[in-house]
Amino acid sequence: MLRRNVLAGLAAGTALAGTALAGSAAAQDEATRRLLERVIARGRVMLTGCTVDGRFLARVCVLSFRTRGRHVEAAVDQIIEEAAGLLSPRDE
């Protein structure tokens, strides 16, 4: 279920839609930025951001002809893991 929410959220530009981070457009854009930063910080997947109709979106652009399904799945797995980290309550 989380996998579907993350992918649907990224595609729609409302990262983590239907979750605790859903809210105003600005809050959704910030959630997308935080997710993007967390995935990039791992150093295995490069995502880019863009703005479309005033909304911040994360995007994946596959350029190498050597990219296989397993590579895309690994990227999706990292996005899911980091999204789960954003959704987890923090112990402070």
Q: What is the pLDDT of residues 57-92, one digit of tens each?
A: 888 888 889 999 898 888 888 988 888 888 876 654
Residue 51 confidence class, pLDDT cut points 50, 70, 90: very high
Residue 66 DSSP one-character state: T
State whether the Cα torsion 76-7-88-51 is positive or negative.
positive
Class of domain 2-87: alpha beta
Report d(CA 77, CA 63) in Å as an integer.
19
Domain boundaries, the chain: 2-87
Asked if pLDDT for residue 16 goes beyond 90, the answer is no
Both tokens assigned to 21: 């981070």
Residue 13 is predicted with a pLDDT of 44
Residue 22 confidence class, pLDDT cut points 50, 70, 90: low
pTM of this prediction?
Answer: 0.71
